[in-house]
Amino acid sequence: MSEPTTPRLLRALAGETLDRPPVWFMRQAGRSLPEYRELRTRAQDFISFCHDPEMAAEATLQPMRRFPLDAAIVFADILLIPRALGQKVWFETGEGPRLGPLPPIEAMADQVEASTGRLAEIGETLKIVRAKLEPERALIGFAGAPWTVATYMLEGRGSDRSAARTYAYQHPDELDALLDVLVEATARYLVMQAKSGAQVLKLFESWAEHLAEDVFERIVVKPHTAIIEKVRAAGIDTPFIGFPRGAGALVETYAARVPVEAVALDTQASAVMGQRIQDGGKTIQGALDNLLLRAGGPALDARIDGLIAQWNDGPYIFNLGHGVLPDTPVENIERAIRRVTGN
Ligand code: CP3
């Protein structure tokens, strides 16, 4: 039996079916909130913001003050790892991430151990947030999954990922070596996060789309499994949420093969597919369309009720299918969360 203060999110991840699902939103911290936009003007640049524990803790806590959310997600970014491994990373305002040339893979392999130390501030952020957050509210740590991070490292920016996929075919040994470096660095980073207060760990595979089944096995299933096994071997039993966004029918392969406690579903996930994953013994999370959250109105209420009706007969975490869009009205976010929590 769980303690009365056991966070609802942890109960769902332990496989409990609850009277109502826990709720949190990807990108709940960020530009949709006026207080975030104000805080952001005080940061030199986005990377220094992520590496400033006081400021990052404040950004993490802003949505927790405003909304009755069941979990906070640490304010950081998936591109802090390539930087910690020695690749140049910066953000062009209004455009997104930019990365310098890919360093030699052997040079990055030599940096794996040191990389975790270069991410120590994220551990400090987690400690500050955990100390301030009520015990009923869970704290989530995260990392980008190796393939998604590799797409940015190889292409130097956000893109359609076709160059990265071509690289996977033309240079399989180099790609595998790069993924191995990322698996090792990511596992160490997640162990550090768990030791710093993260009660849940999420792997963001934001670009799991368009992958053939054999490629999906090699660059998604295998590295995710390796990361989780390494974290477990370090004595950490923190539950994992895996998010293979865009994987379509391969989401079920993912759920069956990767030892995550929960699978986060994107907007396209069907009701029956989610139910089959629950029947297979895993918790599911998702999958409200972020455009519908932005649009609001009766269609938003109806879809929230529909998702709960279709999935809350098993372990379920309410969330979006992708992150909150920056121009989402705050009233819609508030209304959606209250519709789920019933207050
Ligand atoms: O609230 C939260 O979800 C926690 C913080 C968080 C951020 N990035 C902060 C952020 C998380 C979990 C991420 C993950 C992330 N970062 C992903 C995976 C999730 C997804 O959305 O698919 C990816 C692909 C990235 C890489 C990234 N970071 C991009 C492509 C961009 C630019 C696009 C954009 O939205 O501006 C970022 C920047 C970023 N990361 C912002 C925030 C709040 C906006 C930066 C700003 O304030 O100017």
- pLDDT at residue 93 in the model: 85
Could you give the percent of the chain with pLDDT greater than 70?
99
Whole-angstrom Cα distance, residue 117 to residue 126? 15
- pLDDT at residue 263 in the model: 99
- Does position 1 have pLDDT exceeding 70, yes or no? no
- pLDDT at residue 94 in the model: 84
Residue whose structure tokens are 């934001």: 206
Q: Mean pLDDT across the chain, nearest whole number?
A: 97
| pLDDT class of 2 with cuts at 50, 70, 90 | low
pLDDT tens digits, 36-89: 999 999 999 999 999 999 999 999 999 999 999 999 999 999 999 999 999 999
Question: For residues 263 and 314, is the Cβ–Cβ distance under 8 A?
Answer: no
Q: Which residues line ligand 1 (CB under 6 A)?
A: 26-31, 40, 46, 73, 75, 77-79, 96-97, 142, 158, 204, 206, 323
- pLDDT at residue 343 in the model: 80
Q: Which fold has domain 8-341?
A: TIM Barrel (3.20.20)
Known catalytic membership, residue 137: no
| pLDDT class of 177 with cuts at 50, 70, 90 | very high
How many Å lie between the centroid of ligand 1 and the Cα of residue 37?
Answer: 14
Known catalytic membership, residue 316: no
pLDDT tens digits, 74-111: 999 999 999 999 999 999 988 999 999 999 999 999 99
Q: Which two tokens stand for residue 190?
A: 């997640």
DSSP SS3 for 257 = helix
Residue extents of the structural domains in the chain: 8-341
Phi then psi dihedrals of residue 289, to 5 deg: -65, 125
Residue nearest to atom 24 of ligand 1 (CA): 206
DSSP states along 84-142: HTT--EEEETTTEEEE-PPPPHHHHHTTHHHHHHTTHHHHHHHHHHHHHS-TTSEEEEE
Which residues touch 4 (CB under 8 Å, ≥6 apart)?
none
